């Protein structure tokens, strides 16, 4: 996009979604301000806005019962390396994801069918197989498991937000480390 087509944009909220939006918009050549405070230093004394990413674990995997979300999951996971490279921040561990439950539960058995149809690599385990492969599971009697070994695991949402913010800044976004208090119409200058 040429510079004269750049739009001035404010993204309010520097969480999982806002930081990603700012990175994409900046890379498209827009003039972006990403507005939102950092994680509070002391939760117990904090009276301001909160986010839902102040921790170290979000499950990430390609499987989902809805085809739309399989597509979204695949697209998101395929960008993790790019975001890490652009920011220098590691946030993803590909340790795999295990879907497990009673073998007669259709939500469990449907994982095998859906992953096969979507071409998602998935290891299938019955109860004894589960006990051998995952010895830390307390009880596997009557259980069935599906393990996604690749493109699955967990991310640190806190580190992902940091990575997206750094990448957005490197792509030209301005980071405003404050909460937005309101909107006001103003003449464009
Ligand atoms: C306990 C828990 C477990 C979860 N587990 C998973 C999981 O395993 N896998 C998964 O995919 N999803 C999981 N989720 C969901 C995922 O974390 C959320 O969908 C995601 O964080 C939403 O992103 P967001 O950017 O919309 O919101 P947030 O990440 O909450 O970001 C909102 C941001 O807006 C800022 N803000 C608020 N008000 C203002 C203001 N006035 N001005 C400026 N900034 C403001 C906040 O400070 C915050 O930074 C989980 C959520 C929770 C709470």
- Please give the mean pLDDT across all residues of the chain: 94
Cα–Cα distance for residue pair 122/114, rounded to 1 Å: 10
SS (H, E, C) the chain: CCHHHCCEEEEECCCHHHHHHHHHHHHCCCEEEEECCCCCCCHHHCCCCCCCCCCCCEEECCCCCCHHHHHHHHHHHCCHHHHHHHHCCCCEECCCEEEEEECCCHHHHHHHHHHHHHCCCCEEECHHHHHHHCCCCCCCCCEEEEEECCCCEEECHHHHHHHHHHHHHHCCCEEECCCCCCCCCCCCC
State the pTM of this model. Answer: 0.91
Ligand 1 mutation target, pool 10, 11, 12, 15, most atoms within 8 A of CB: 15
User: Higher pLDDT residue, 138 or 20?
Assistant: 20
What spacing in Å lies between the alpha carbon of 51 and ligand 1's midpoint? 5
Q: Whose CA is nearest to atom 7 of ligand 1?
A: 58
Residue length of the chain: 189
Quote the pLDDT of residue 188: 65
Go through the domains of the chain in sequence order and give each one's CATH number.
1-42+157-189 (3.50.50.60), 57-155 (3.30.9.10)
Question: Over the stretch 42-57, which tens digit does the pLDDT of each residue have?
Answer: 999 999 999 999 999 9
Q: Which residues line ligand 1 (CB under 6 A)?
A: 12-18, 35-37, 49, 51-53, 58-59, 157, 179-180
- Amino acid 92: pLDDT: 98
The residues, any chain, with a CB within 8 Å of residue 1's CB and separated by 6 or more, are: 28, 29, 30
Give the number of the atom of ligand 1 that is nearest the alpha carbon of residue 35: 43
Report the phi/psi class of residue 119: left, alpha or beta, with left for phi > 0 and alpha for psi in -120 to 50.
left
Least confident of 5-9, 30-34, 92-96: 5-9
- Can you tell me the distance from the alpha carbon of 164 to that of 175, in angstroms, rounded to the nearest whole number? 11
| pLDDT computed for residue 189 by the predictor | 61
Alpha carbons 10 and 94: distance in angstroms, whole number: 33
Task: Tell me the best of 12, 52, 54, 55 to mutate to test the pocket of ligand 1, counting ligand atoms within 8 Å of each CB and taking the most.
Answer: 52
pLDDT band of residue 5 (cuts 50, 70, 90) is: confident
Q: Give the whole-number percent of the chain exceeding pLDDT 70.
A: 97
């Amino acid at each position: 996009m040429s510079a004269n087509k750049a739009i001035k944009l404010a993204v309010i909220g520097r969480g999982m979604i806002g930081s990603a939006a700012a990175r994409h918009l900046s890379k498209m050549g827009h003039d972006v301000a990403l507005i939102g405070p950092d994680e509070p230093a002391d939760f117990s004394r904090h009276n301001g806005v909160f986010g839902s990413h102040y921790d170290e674990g979000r499950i990430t995997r390609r499987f989902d019962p809805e085809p739309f979300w399989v597509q979204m999951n695949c697209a998101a996971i395929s960008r993790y390396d790019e975001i890490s490279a652009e920011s220098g921040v590691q946030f993803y561990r590909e340790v795999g994801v295990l879907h497990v439950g009673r073998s007669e539960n259709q939500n469990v058995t449907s994982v095998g069918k859906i992953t096969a149809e979507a071409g998602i690599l998935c290891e299938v385990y019955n109860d004894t197989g589960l006990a051998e492969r995952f010895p830390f599971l307390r009880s596997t009697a009557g259980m069935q498991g599906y393990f996604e070994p690749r493109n699955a695991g967990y991310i640190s949402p806190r580190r992902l937000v940091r990575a997206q913010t750094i990448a957005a800044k490197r792509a030209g976004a301005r980071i405003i480390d404050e909460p937005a208090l309101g909107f006001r119409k103003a003449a464009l200058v």
